[in-house]
Structure formats: structure tokens, C-alpha cells
A = this chain, B = another copy of it.
Amino acid sequence: MSQQDLGSNGQKERKDMKVLLVHAHPEPASFCAALRDAAVDTLCRNGHEVVVSDLYEQNFNPVAGPNDFGTRRNADYLVYSLEQRNGWQNRTIAPDIAREVERVLESDLLILNFPIFWFSMPAIMKGWIDRVFLSGAFFGGKRIYDRAELTGKKALVTATLGGRDHMFGPNGVHGELNGMLRHLLQGTLGYCGFQVLEPFFGYHVPYISDAERSRCLEAYRTHLGKIDTLPILRMPTLDDFDEVMRPLPKAT
């Protein structure tokens, strides 16, 4: 194997990843959509295959509810996660969900591409998570983090925001942006076993010049070009916890 095949962390570079890019923005011509297009172009040029789920375009239903299951384990009382497990096992999940579940399962890399609304995803993407991240298929009772079903897959969050970069970090007014997004980076993606890559953020987007937008797009192409060597965020390991997830005494 030549040096060119190794990333700086020694991983073999993948030239044939299947990528699922989930995009959600209410403005079709947004800068966020330009980031989506830059990702599709860059990744395809680099030999990968990209499928896009454009949630506004699909008019995706984000509201988890009783109609998400063709038949119910308990038709009188809805415990959503228990019906997910049952529905996945018996293949009775609603078709709009099942299609997205299959797309995630077939992919090596999931990219979530969105404008930050209230330090999280727009509701249409939050509902994509609520309905598609199936208990039973993506994780189970004790199968979370490094024991979850999606270990081996990578995930990248790409997000635009109005705030400036100096508003974040240990001394920034809002604190760490990755900390604000911990419910997503750790609590959702890490929880299901994804290797969560260092996110890409486009700051101050509604207010920047065309030249600044071009530089941001170029920086994103560079970020994507290093997809095999990007830092991976640290997640909990179940090695540190017992079978009911109480912390084990630390080895001395």
C-alpha cells in the first residue's frame, strides 16, 4: 500500500463510500443549499456515490405519531420506541420512514446539512431523526455508543448560522458550539454508533459578502477532501459502565 492510500491517522482512504446527505432549508436557493451542492460535487469527484434526501422538497412529515406503524404491538397505547422495535421486526413501518431507514443503513457516511435554528436542527430534520432513527434497527436497550448498530459508519454535521465564530468557544457568550449541539453530536449520532467527524460551520451567513461565501465553500470542499482524516469526536464507551450502565470503578 502506498503512502497516498493512508490518511494521516493511518486509515485506508475510501474512494467508494456511499454517502447519504440529508438537507433541510426552507429557501431552495440558500447558501446552505450551495454547501449541499458543493458536497455532492466534491464527493462525486472523489469517487464516492451520493444520495440526497431534501426534506423540504420531499415535504417530509416530521411528526412522530400512531400512523407511523401499519400494525401496532399495542393499538390502545402508543409507546413510540416500542412500536418502532415491533415495526422494524415485522416490516410494518410506514413507507416514507422505511425508505429513509434503508438509505441510512446502505450508507457509509451520513451528512446532515442544515441551518442552525435555536442551536439545533430545523423541526423538519428533528422529525426525520425522531421517525427514522429506529429503536431496534439503529440501537437497542443496551446497544448504544460503541455497542450500537451503526458502528463503522461516519457522520458529519454541516451547518450554517447567523452568529459569528467569536461568540463560541470556552470564553464565548454562548460557550462551545459543539456543546450546544451535544444532543445531536453525542446524544443522537454518537448514541447510534456513528464515528462523528469534526463538524463544518458556516458562520454569520445572512450577513457575509459573496467573496466570504466563496471562501466558505472552498473551505468546505477542503474539509470534505480530508474526510478520512478529520478528527473524530470522543464518545463514551460502554467499557466504562456495568450492565445497567452504572460507572465501573476506574482501573488504577
Taking beta carbons and an 8 Å cutoff, which residues of A are in contact with B?
26-27, 29-30, 56, 62-66, 77-82, 115, 117-124, 126-127, 129-130, 133, 144-145, 162, 164, 166-167, 171-175, 179-184, 186-188, 191, 206, 236, 238, 240-241, 244-247
Given A164-B245, A179-B179, A181-B183, residue A26 in contact with residue B127 (CB < 8 A)? no
Q: Chain B residues near A145 (CB, 8 Å)?
A: 173
Interface-centre pick from A63, A186, A240 (highest chain B CB count, 10 A): A63
Shortest Cβ distance from residue A207 to the other chain B in the assembled complex, whole angstroms: 10
CA distance A167 to B236 in the complex (A): 12
- In the complex, which residue of chain B has the Cβ closest to the Cβ of A183? B119
Shortest Cβ distance from residue A150 to the other chain B in the assembled complex, whole angstroms: 14
Q: Chain B residues near A166 (CB, 8 Å)?
A: 244-246
Q: Chain B residues near A162 (CB, 8 Å)?
A: 81
Counted per complex, copies of this chain come to: 2
Q: Chain B residues near A63 (CB, 8 Å)?
A: 26, 56, 62, 122-124
Q: Chain B residues near A120 (CB, 8 Å)?
A: 120, 126, 183-184, 187
Given A180-B182, A247-B171, residue A118 in contact with residue B123 (CB < 8 A)? no
Tell me which of B80, B167, B173, B183 contacts A180 (CB under 8 A).
B183
Q: Chain B residues near A126 (CB, 8 Å)?
A: 117-118, 120-123, 126-127
Beyond A119-B187, A164-B245, A183-B183, list 9 extra A-B contacts (CB 8 Å).
Answer: A27-B79, A56-B65, A117-B126, A118-B188, A118-B191, A123-B124, A126-B127, A175-B236, A179-B179
CA distance A56 to B136 in the complex (A): 25
Interface-centre pick from A115, A174, A236, A246 (highest chain B CB count, 10 A): A174
Given A64-B26, A183-B180, residue A130 in contact with residue B119 (CB < 8 A)? no
Q: Chain B residues near A174 (CB, 8 Å)?
A: 186-187, 236
CA distance A31 to B126 in the complex (A): 23
CB-CB nearest 3 A-B residue pairs: A123-B127, A119-B187, A119-B183
Given A64-B117, A124-B62, A164-B244, residue A180 in contact with residue B187 (CB < 8 A)? yes
Q: Chain B residues near A180 (CB, 8 Å)?
A: 182-183, 186-187
Given A64-B26, A126-B123, residue A245 in contact with residue B188 (CB < 8 A)? no
